[in-house]
Amino acid sequence: MKKNLFFTLVLLPALFMQSYAQSGKADQALLRKADETLQFAARQYKLMMRHVPDTLLPRSTNKDGSLMTSNANWWTSGFYPGTTWFLYEYTKDPVFKTEALKRMALIQKNQFNTRTHDLGFMMYCPFGNALRITGDTAYKRMLLNSARSLSTRFNPTVGCIKSWDHGTWKFPVIIDNMMNLELLTWASRESGDARFDKIARTHANTTIKHHFRPDYSSYHVIDYDPSNGAVLQKKTHQGLADSSAWSRGQAWGLYGYTMMYRETKDKAYLNQARHIAEYILRHPRMPADLIPYWDYDAPEIPNAPRDVSAGAVAASALLELSRYTNKAEGKRYWNAAEKMLNSLCSPAYLAKEGENNDFILMHSVGSLPHQSEVDVPLTYADYYFVEALLRYKQWAK
């Protein structure tokens, strides 16, 4: 089923690698479009505030077209307050800060939740942004507690943080888990406890070793033997097949290793991110608008559903990755991110005001094999899209 696409990158000497040393040349039309879209997003989320019950969080759209919500324990619970922090940062409208604080009060109990690997999503997205934007040091304690809770899921024999406690898996680790490591690297810097950083690096290193194929596509799930660290299975859960490339998994990997390079300056993570970027951007089944199908190996391509969430995550990651590479490579990543953002800002993917259950983007896919959240808005697609727009405005020159 799968074509092996091995992309060999020429690794440039360290002196040519740049960290936050270059920005992309601004597309003035896209800058204007970014502002228009962020203003639309603010209006749309003000509508959403009126429709989401006070004790719940927005998640997606139900099959009957109604708003799908979640409780505070669901893995996506942190994205909505995280997005409202972004919108407060952009608009300075206190209504967004008030809404973020209201929803964060629901999820702050998860700082002590040791039953999930998703504490980066659940806690760092809202509370990390709150700390960054407001400077209120009260958030540090909650984030450090969250990092301690996440660390309890680390098995030093496996060298990874366990993802799930359900199913028949022994010690499952999913590629998504790369996104939760920033909570740990932050905690290490903040607390001075090197243990958090060591867990993050060990998890990232083990994931490089076992999660990626020779073409730098990723398996979704690796099941380990917790007693000796041996790999038991290489599987999928949300992708087409064990051997296929689930598009959001590729985006999680790209974002995760770009972030790990920023956090550690370890060139192994930069090179991994570059390899994954090449896989995504050079893939023969990548559509012309660079918004990927839900799985790169979906047999119904070109009629397969797109996954806008994968496009939003990848766009944000590529903007950042462009800042760490040589000029020519960085320009290519920057230009690809611009194309993705232009696509996402178009009527093909951007909702109309007052529609789409007040989410910003349309046409994401949660888990097609389970017929769950197919061709619907997703709260994390909105989060990474707004993040990407803000990054573009900040870094474009």
CA 120 to chain CA centroid, Å, is 10
Q: Is 64 exposed, middle or buried (0-12, 13-18, 19+ CB in 10 A)?
A: exposed
Q: Which residues make Cβ contacts (< 8 Å) with residue 133, sequence separation at least 6?
A: 85, 88, 89
Does 165 qualify as catalytic in the annotation?
no
Provide the pLDDT for residue 5: 37
Q: For residue 242, what are the CA distances in angstroms to 1, 151, 218, 301, 356?
A: 10, 28, 10, 18, 32
Q: Is 164 exposed, middle or buried (0-12, 13-18, 19+ CB in 10 A)?
A: middle
Provide the pLDDT for residue 22: 57
Q: Where in the chain is the domain with CATH 1.50.10.10?
A: 17-51+264-397
Joined together, the tokens standing for residue 296 give 């790169």
* 8-state DSSP, 12: P
Provide the pLDDT for residue 397: 80
Does 223 qualify as catalytic in the annotation?
no
One-letter amino acid of 347 = P
Per-residue pLDDT of the chain (397 residues; tens, 9 = 90+): 333 433 333 333 332 334 334 567 789 999 999 999 999 999 999 999 999 999 999 999 999 999 999 999 999 999 999 999 999 999 999 999 999 999 999 999 999 999 999 999 999 999 999 999 999 999 999 999 999 999 999 999 999 999 999 889 999 999 999 999 999 999 999 999 999 999 999 999 999 999 999 999 999 999 999 999 999 999 999 999 999 999 999 999 999 999 999 999 999 999 999 999 999 999 999 999 999 999 999 999 999 999 999 999 999 999 999 999 999 999 999 999 999 999 999 999 999 999 999 999 999 999 999 999 999 999 999 999 999 999 999 999 8
- Of the candidates 176, 197, 295, 382, the residue annotated as catalytic is 176
- Please, what's the b/e burial string for 30-62 (b: 16 or more CB within 10 A of its CB; e: otherwise)? beebbeebbebbbebbbebbeebeeebbbbbbe
Q: Which CATH class is domain 17-51+264-397?
A: mainly alpha
**Tens digit of pLDDT for each residue in 275-328?**
999 999 999 999 999 999 999 999 999 999 999 999 999 999 999 999 999 999
Between CA 64 and CA 83 the distance in angstroms is 25
Maximum Cα interatomic distance, the chain, rounded to a whole number of Å? 56
- Of the candidates 27, 64, 118, 197, the residue annotated as catalytic is 118
